[in-house]
Amino acid sequence: MSRWYEWAFGGIGVVILTSITKYVFNLINSKQKENLKENILLNADAKPLDIVEGGFNSPRQNECINRTISCVGWINELKTGQHLWLVIEVGDFLWPKEGEVIPKTDGTWERIIFEDGNPPNGEFSISLYVTNNEAHKNIISWLDTGRMTGNYYGLRGIPGTRRIDRINLKLNVDT
């Protein structure tokens, strides 16, 4: 009788221990599955930056322009969490221009920017950049710092961005 009791208690203990182990294992697995599902859902729309296409309609390549520059262009495949910025390039330096470019529902965009710098020989480029959220926040922070200090130092690069298009321009020296 004692032996049967030990066997029965031991059997129940094994059943209970096995059930607890399965429950904890399933709980951990369901949490991991939930995290995986959440990551898939969060990243479903976050396509890589290199899928985004866009460009300038105006100004035109090598155009001689004034300091107030009306930029017009187009964009395709821009997803949630991605942003557009116009950036002045002179040599290896970058200066994002004030205000994110917001495309219209038809994929076109317009933005007026001002070039107050004095590039060598009046030659510079305007580029259209796509950014991820982190780079977008960094550009806004850089612009805020420039407004507070009056110094918009040239950037050597902006991690989390990709240049989509670039046009070379010449500043009209009479302006």
Instruction: Determine the structural domain holding residue 137 and report its residue range.
Output: 49-171
How many independent structural domains does the chain possess?
Answer: 2
pLDDT of amino acid 46? 47
Residue 14 pLDDT grade (very low, low, confident, very high; cuts 50, 70, 90): very low
pLDDT of amino acid 124? 97
pLDDT of amino acid 7? 47
Residue 5 pLDDT grade (very low, low, confident, very high; cuts 50, 70, 90): very low
Q: Identify whether residues 18 and 87 lie together within a single domain.
A: no
Residue 4 pLDDT grade (very low, low, confident, very high; cuts 50, 70, 90): very low
User: Could you write out the DSSP letters of every residue in the chain?
Assistant: -HHHHHHHHHHHHHHHHHHHHHHHHHHHHHHHHHHHHHHHHHHSS---GGG-EEEEEESPTT-EE-SEEEEEEEEES--TT-EEEEEEEETTEEEEPSS-B---TTSEEEEEEE--S--GGGEEEEEEEEE-HHHHHHHHHHHHHHHHHS--PPBS--TTEEEEEEEEEEE-TT-
| pLDDT surpasses 60 at 73 | yes
For the chain, give the mean pLDDT. 83
What's the longest Cα–Cα distance across the chain?
110
Lowest-confidence pick of 14-18, 79-83, 103-107: 14-18
Q: Identify whether residues 4 and 90 lie together within a single domain.
A: no
Q: Identify whether residues 91 and 121 lie together within a single domain.
A: yes
pLDDT of amino acid 12? 54
Q: Identify whether residues 103 and 155 lie together within a single domain.
A: yes
> 174: which residues sit within 8 A by CB, 6+ positions away?
none
166 Rama class: left (phi>0) / alpha (psi -120 to 50) / beta: beta
| pLDDT surpasses 50 at 162 | yes
Which pLDDT tens digit goes with each residue over 116-157?
889 999 999 999 999 999 999 999 999 999 999 999 999 999
Q: What is the CATH number of the domain that holds 117?
A: 2.60.40.10
**Measured distance CA(172)–CA(175) in Å, rounded:** 6
Which pLDDT tens digit goes with each residue over 22-52?
554 555 555 555 554 444 444 444 458 989 9
Which comes out higher in pLDDT, residue 129 or 14? 129
Q: Identify whether residues 23 and 71 lie together within a single domain.
A: no
What is the rounded average pLDDT of the residues 62-84?
95
Are residues 132 and 92 in contact, defined by beta-carbon separation less than 8 angstroms? no
